[in-house]
């Protein structure tokens, strides 16, 4: 979210370095409590380096398994420590492997994603 400068009433959008530091801290804390995480990373404008004021953070997580439908999996993930709005996609390991076969979206993610955590298999 935009933050107020200490010496000015002007709001500033956090830069990529601030966002990445916050994301790294969030990821490190998350994998300590969520043992089911297989992969955790980000993609989109922050991964490509073409972010700007108003850009959101696109996060991808791969977990071992889930009984919840895809669209409800993010309910238990606290994104509030992140300094900008974030979208989170949570795939199971099987769904992630299926994406590889489907092609286009997986190839785009594979080319662009910056992985913060990959569990040793």
Query: How confident is the model over 77-99, as a mean pLDDT?
Result: 95
Region of 44 (left: φ > 0; alpha: ψ -120 to 50; beta: rest) is left
State how far the Cα of 82 lies from the Cα of 58, in Å rounded to an integer.
Answer: 11
Query: How confident is the model over 15-39, as a mean pLDDT?
Result: 96
Structure tokens belonging to residue 30: 């998350």
* 88: Cα separation from own chain's centroid: 6
Which residue did the predictor score with more confidence, 43 or 10? 43
Which residue did the predictor score with more confidence, 111 or 114? 114
Structure tokens belonging to residue 18: 């601030």
Mean pLDDT score across all residues of the chain:
91
> What is the model's pLDDT at position 109?
87
pTM: 0.87
List, in order of start, the domains of the chain with CATH numbers: 3-118 (3.30.460.10)
Give 91: exposed, middle or buried? Use CB within 10 Å, 0-12, 13-18, 19+.
buried
Query: How confident is the model over 48-57, as a mean pLDDT?
Result: 94
């Amino acid at each position: 979210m935009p933050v107020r400068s200490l010496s000015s009433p002007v709001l500033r959008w956090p830069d990529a370095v601030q966002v990445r530091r916050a994301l790294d801290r969030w990821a490190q804390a998350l994998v300590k409590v969520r043992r089911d995480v297989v992969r955790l990373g980000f993609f989109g404008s922050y991964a490509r380096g073409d972010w700007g004021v108003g850009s959101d953070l696109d996060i991808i997580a791969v977990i071992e398994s889930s009984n919840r439908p895809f669209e409800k999996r993010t309910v238990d993930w606290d994104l509030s420590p992140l300094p900008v709005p974030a979208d989170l996609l949570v795939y199971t390991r099987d769904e992630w492997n299926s994406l590889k076969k489907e092609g286009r979206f997986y190839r785009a993610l594979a080319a662009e994603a910056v992985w913060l955590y990959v569990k040793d298999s």
